[in-house]
């Protein structure tokens, strides 16, 4: 309970969170010629390569959704998740000075590193909507379901990010582990494929991954004008919140040692 109260403290430092987030974004794109365009170029190149291999060479077709769109939507949401976690992992170890010489609650650094990825997502999402129009897919109000889906994704990314950020202070192995873990996780998430492609016997295991539910929900609302199953949505939210709260409490417990260990 005592740790839980500390979540409120984040609110007192919202100004700092805002400045650190802006700093993350500004610093990332300063002196980069393509700037925010990287946020579109990255998933687009990923999608084109997969569309070439699976869409053209292997003629993969899923639910009549153009394969390029399917993969691009997958990477749009997956990249936010993966990049958030990798930024979060170095949020403390990359700011040693702030950890050892200032007193604000250190979860602010993790939050800023995740929120700093939002403009990338928005840019990529805009591109996705343009592609949707290009492929003449109907827009409907169901599209708005991507908002709660995305909220669940942010909470999940924050929870996992908090864990890796704190663990990385104690063991630098985490720096090497996280990219590997994210790569394996990508394969086990329907990013370049869809859940319907998985044999029934294995679908359950793939569904245990919260990112599966998020991506499937997003695609349903984007491409099939379908609202997600509400009970599944609530379950996903509960899972993400639980992961977040457990890791937040763990983070606050470990925080006391950060300045000494880092």
Residues within the interface to another protein (CB under 8 A): 13, 15-16, 18-20, 23, 26-27, 30-31, 96-98, 100-104, 256, 259-262
Strands annotated E in 137-250 = none
> In the bound complex, what is the minimum distance in angstroms from residue 211's beta carbon to another protein?
33
Q: How far is CA 243 from CA 90, 168, 196, 233, in A?
A: 20, 18, 27, 15
Are the C-beta atoms of 60 and 67 separated by less than 8 Å? Answer: yes
Cβ pair 36, 120 in contact under 8 A: yes
Name the minimum Å distance from CB 169 to another protein. Answer: 10
> Which CB sits closer to another protein, 103 or 136?
103
Q: How far is the CB of 27 from another protein (least distance, A)?
A: 5
DSSP string for 114-169: HHTTHHHHHHHHHHHHHHHHHTTPPP-GGGGGHHHHHHHHHHHHHHHHHHHHHHHH
Burial class (CB in 10 A: 0-12, 13-18, 19+), 10: middle
Run of H or E residues at 237 = helix 230-261
What b/e sequence results for 223-245 when a residue is b if at least 16 CB atoms lie within 10 Å of its CB, and e otherwise? Answer: beeeebeeeebeebbebbeebbe
Quick one: 26 or 232, whose CB is closer to another protein? 26
Closest contact distance (angstroms) between CB of 26 and another protein is: 7
Question: Which CB sits closer to another protein, 95 or 225?
Answer: 95
CB of 171 to another protein, least distance (A): 10
Given a contact cutoff of 8 angstroms between Cβ atoms, the answer to whether 236 and 152 are in contact is: yes
**Nearer to another protein (CB atom), residue 94 or residue 148:** 94
What's the closest the beta carbon of residue 100 comes to another protein, in angstroms? 7
**Cα(85)–Cα(244) distance, integer angstroms:** 13
CB of 245 to another protein, least distance (A): 24
Specify the residue, 17 or 233, whose C-beta has the smaller distance to another protein: 17
- Closest to another protein by CB, 26 or 196: 26
Nearer CB in complex with another protein: 31/136: 31
């Amino acid at each position: 309970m005592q740790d839980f109260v500390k979540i409120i403290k984040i609110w007192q430092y919202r100004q700092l969170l805002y400045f650190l987030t802006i700093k993350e974004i500004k610093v990332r794109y300063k002196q980069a010629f393509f700037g925010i365009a990287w946020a579109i170029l990255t998933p687009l190149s990923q999608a084109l390569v997969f569309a070439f291999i699976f869409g053209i060479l292997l003629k993969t077709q899923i639910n009549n959704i153009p394969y390029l769109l399917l993969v691009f939507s997958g990477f749009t949401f997956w990249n936010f998740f993966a990049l958030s976690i990798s930024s979060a992992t170095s949020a403390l170890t990359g700011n040693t000075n702030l950890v050892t010489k200032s007193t604000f609650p250190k979860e602010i650094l993790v939050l800023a590193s995740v929120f700093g990825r939002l403009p990338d997502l928005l840019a990529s999402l805009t591109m996705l909507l343009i592609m949707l129009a290009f492929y003449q897919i109907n827009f409907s109000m169901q599209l708005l379901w991507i908002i709660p889906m995305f909220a669940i994704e942010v909470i999940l990314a924050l929870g996992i990010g908090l864990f890796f950020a704190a663990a990385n202070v104690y063991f630098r192995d985490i720096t090497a582990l996280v990219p590997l873990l994210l790569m394996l996780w990508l394969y086990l998430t329907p990013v370049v494929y869809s859940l319907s492609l998985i044999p029934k016997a294995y679908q359950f295991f793939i569904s245990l991954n919260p990112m599966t539910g998020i991506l499937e929900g997003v695609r349903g609302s984007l491409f099939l004008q379908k609202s997600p199953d509400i009970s599944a949505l609530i379950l996903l939210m509960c899972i993400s919140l639980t992961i977040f709260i457990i890791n937040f409490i763990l983070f606050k417990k470990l925080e006391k040692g950060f300045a000494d260990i880092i």
